[in-house]
Amino acid sequence: MNASGMTAAEPVLELKGLRKSFGETQIIRGVDLAVKRGQRHALIGPNGAGKSTLFNLISGHYVPTSGEILLNGESIAGLAPHIINRRGLSRSFQITNVFPRMSVAENLRISIMGRHGHRFTLFQAISALKAVNDEVDEYIRKLRLERRRNDLAGDLAYSEQRILEMGMSLATEPSVLILDEPTAGMSREETAYIVELIREVTEGRTLLVVEHDMSVVFTLCDQVSVLVYGEVIATGDPASVRANKKVQEAYLGEEVH
């Protein structure tokens, strides 16, 4: 809905002829993809299609073999992960990836303080950084983690850790947030809860989501791209992608709801 008026907008994230090989094996075989501002773009595909590899390429974990990755029109291909983050792209992880022996508030504070220029600040107490701490409180409220504020992240329930993890990526205030299977391993109720929460906290932001759960894709996202064997075979709104013959074939009888 929010993307329909902005389809003419410049793409925030653009992949052009992206390729990645590991030795002889080509995993990503020339991917073209454009994520426009304010869009919630889903990337789906069968197991082994290269979704995770594509994610790792975009976030700087891997260096592409060839092709371009443009963020706000500038190339980020092959840059170090922390530079890519500062340019405005933040990713969350499929596995839970928090700081287990620090409190929820401190986990978020690490994400937020860097953006306020406190990366290596040494002559200021962290408790005195009012702007940072206020923002930490704001994010805790947004993520509905108030009651968990001072608990160690490692002591949270799995779904809470995933929420915190996503919140940490979000708190770096990226121009594109990419989420790697945000509902993996969750129960139906937890999935419904987290999807609603993601909708809420990412309002107005640009999102790229890798997701297996089709119901999540269709409730959360307004654009879908299908990756099969390292190539994007279809892109469009959920309904047209669902109706696409090639997509149905690729899923080989797997039900596309």
Which residues bind to another protein, rule: CB under 8 A?
59, 80-82, 85-86, 90-91, 93, 97-102, 106-107, 109-111, 113-115, 118-127, 129, 168-169, 172
Query: Looking at beta carbons only, is 153 or 217 nearer to another protein?
Result: 153
Q: Pseudo-torsion of CA 94, 100, 104, 107, nearest 10°?
A: -70
Tell me the closest approach of the beta carbon of residue 37 to another protein, in angstroms: 21
Tell me the closest approach of the beta carbon of residue 156 to another protein, in angstroms: 14
Is the dihedral angle over the CA atoms 48, 181, 28, 242 positive or is it negative? Answer: positive
Helix (H) or strand (E) holding 65: none
Query: Looking at beta carbons only, is 47 or 124 nearer to another protein?
Result: 124
Tell me the closest approach of the beta carbon of residue 75 to another protein, in angstroms: 18
Query: Looking at beta carbons only, is 6 or 126 nearer to another protein?
Result: 126
Tell me the closest approach of the beta carbon of residue 164 to another protein, in angstroms: 11
Phi, psi of 108, deg, nearest 5: -70, -35
- For the beta sheet containing 25-36, the strands, ordered from the edge strand earlier in sequence to the opposite edge, are 25-36, 11-22, 66-71, 74-75
State the Cα–Cα distance between residues 98 and 161, nearest whole angstrom: 7
Tell me the closest approach of the beta carbon of residue 177 to another protein, in angstroms: 12
Query: Looking at beta carbons only, is 175 or 235 nearer to another protein?
Result: 175
Cβ atoms within 10 Å, residue 95: 10
Query: Looking at beta carbons only, is 42 or 136 nearer to another protein?
Result: 136
State the Cα–Cα distance between residues 29 and 228, nearest whole angstrom: 10
Tell me the closest approach of the beta carbon of residue 23 to another protein, in angstroms: 24
State the Cα–Cα distance between residues 21 and 149, nearest whole angstrom: 43
Q: Which DSSP symbol is given to 64?
A: -
Query: Looking at beta carbons only, is 93 or 193 nearer to another protein?
Result: 93
Phi, psi of 142, deg, nearest 5: -55, -40
Query: Looking at beta carbons only, is 19 or 115 nearer to another protein?
Result: 115
Tell me the closest approach of the beta carbon of residue 56 to another protein, in angstroms: 11
Q: Where are the alpha helices (DSSP H) in the chain?
A: 51-58, 81-87, 104-115, 130-142, 158-170, 188-201, 214-220, 238-243, 245-250
